[in-house]
Structure 1
Amino acid sequence: MQTDGLGKRYGQTWALRGCSLQLPAGRIAALVGPNGAGKSTLLHLAVGLLQPDAGQVRVFGQDPRDNIDALADLGFVAQDTPLYPDFTATELITMGSRLNRRWDSEIARERLTRLGIPADKPVGKLSGGQRAQVALALALAKKPRLLLLDEPVAALDPLARHEFMQALMGAVGEYGTTVLLSSHLLADLERVCDHLIVLQTAHVQLSGAVDDLLATHCRLVGPRVADGAAVPGVAAMIRASHTERQSTLLVRTDGPVDTDRWAVHDVTLEDLVLAYLGAADTRSTGTAALPEVAA
């Protein structure tokens, strides 16, 4: 999946603007950002449900909108897991087999049986978590090359979330599926995702392989420095806090840091996401712009 200057607006408001990113095949990518950042809009553009107002999106080199060949390779679970409420899971599986070129009913049946979800009960009478699992089972039965998930675990309990994430990892390993997963649950994402995309105020703020991003960011603790002061080895200061004598900085590095002056600490994925989102919030109040980062 690749986007170049992708944008979508509703009236005079841009829900997504200038979005350029490339998602490598075979990755599980986390798509994070606050409500209203443009995550759902990006996913709906990627599956052809919306038409862009600027730029383009390509999935396996093709425009997904009204493109049967491209859509055959896509699986999508929307935020509200829309399913025909009067249909049973068995009926939905049968319908899927008749509507999709590439379909494996056994994947869906085995998954629902393992989870103890009744296949003969109308899905409208299932719990929210069970409906989410049915939607995922149907999406995996399509054997998509790219699976897009919009807040799929919001309705699941911790055990079900863990099982859901394990299923995603299994799909990537078995079928080579690429996954783009939108979620606010950073702890769950950190366990399974190897690529990160941060959206904020309709823009891509950060994008890249998790290992690369973590390797080029760290937390520095040392003597008090002024905001905006140059620090050797630091390409960008993402977030800073100060006491009277000490500064704590989350930074992106471009070279060695003076370890005699600074104590250097690794950061987690959660540290990184919260720092960039917090820095973007500060930027919106009129302070210096934070550079967009792609690794």
Structure 2
Amino acid sequence: MELAIETRGLGKRYGRTWALRDCALAVPAGRIVALAGPNGAGKTTLLHLAAGLLRPDSGDVRVFGHPPAAALPEIGFVAQDTPLYRDFTAAELITMGGKLNPRRWDAAPARERLAALGVPLDRPAGKLSGGQRAQVALALALAKRPRLLLLDEPIASLDPLARREFLRTLMGAVAEDGTTVLLSSHLLIDLERTCDHLVVLQDARVRLTGPVDELLDAHRTVVGPRAGSDEIAGVAQVIRAHHSERQATLLVRRAGPIDPLWTEHEVGLEDLVLGHLAAEVPACSG
């Protein structure tokens, strides 16, 4: 299995504070990966390390088996604030991108995508809407024809329609080229619609990682009597518990068929992520 990103003991520190610590990841190539976690969890730091914009203080990170600097021609990156030269038009930014990336640049699809979305190519970036600027930034990143696309909260400030258009453009491009995507976002509903692999960071460490389908299949919400919640047949681990006077509602990792005395419910990505973030358990994987 080819790995798009592999980290071992990866860490980055600012002063005495670890922004990322002991990070061990293996992200398969060709996946769309959701990078979730609260503010300050280390998501942006991980993306910057993978893009070669930061140097680690411990461990290392590999992109397709190489240091990020060596893999840079194969990496596309869209920062959270979608920085663009405000006085340049979209057409001028596409031309400039071609001069900076002469080996892999594919300008025609970038122009076609923006034209299809109604983004004026002759208008300065500073006069475009937030959604239009995000689309220009994505078009520029995709014009590089990257094998790995890193997206740092690119849709956080967009309205629902602009978010849907952005994700639709992203999914279409990924389907065409088989690009690996690492997408950081707080909008878990959008991640559930688009991503097939999950990485959850909390307190600068990996809390949970694995294929989304496998993680969802391994977890259940169960409801039953509080008196019998200490040990339940078929439950390997209680991730998060909520108790009323007589009843217990638990997010669990299952080990087999669950005791039929307990009512069992499937979980969605949002419940899974929030449950692990609220849990007092060690970091784990799928």
TM bracket (short chain): over 0.9
Q: CA deviation at 1:292?
A: 2.1
Q: CA deviation at 1:186?
A: 0.8
Conserved 8 A contact 1:75-1:139: yes
Tell me which residue corresponds to 1:76.
Answer: 77
Conserved 8 A contact 2:134-2:166: no
Q: CA deviation at 1:155?
A: 2.5
Conserved 8 A contact 2:48-2:54: yes
The 5 A counterparts of 1:1-295 are 1-65=5-69, 67=70, 70-100=71-101, 101-225=103-227, 229-259=230-260, 261-279=261-279, 283=280, 290-295=281-286
Q: Which AA in structure 1 matches 2:50?
A: A
Off by >6 Å, runs of 4+ in structure 1: none
Structure 1, unmatched stretches of 5+, are: 284-289
For 2:259, what is the secondary structure of its paired residue? coil
How many percent identity over aligned positions? 69
Q: CA deviation at 1:231?
A: 2.3
- How far, CA to CA, are the matches of 1:41 and 1:249 in structure 2? 33
For 2:206, what is the secondary structure of its paired residue? strand
Q: CA deviation at 1:165?
A: 1.2
User: Which range moves more in the overlay, 241-250 or 157-166?
Assistant: 157-166
Q: Which AA in structure 1 matches 2:178?
A: G
- How far, CA to CA, are the matches of 1:53 and 1:230 in structure 2? 42
Conserved 8 A contact 1:195-1:209: yes
> Structure 2 length as normaliser, TM-score?
0.95
For 2:200, what is the secondary structure of its paired residue? strand
- How far, CA to CA, are the matches of 2:93 and 2:167 in structure 1? 23
- How far, CA to CA, are the matches of 2:283 and 2:108 in structure 1? 44
CA deviation string 1:175-203 (max 9, x = no partner): 01000000011111111111111110101
RMSD across aligned positions (CA) = 1.2
Conserved 8 A contact 1:27-1:172: no
- How far, CA to CA, are the matches of 2:77 and 2:35 in structure 1? 14
User: Which range moves more in the overlay, 211-220 or 92-101?
Assistant: 92-101
Q: CA deviation at 1:291?
A: 2.8
Q: Which AA in structure 1 matches 2:271?
A: D
Q: CA deviation at 1:226?
A: 7.2
User: Which range moves more in the overlay, 149-158 or 199-208?
Assistant: 149-158
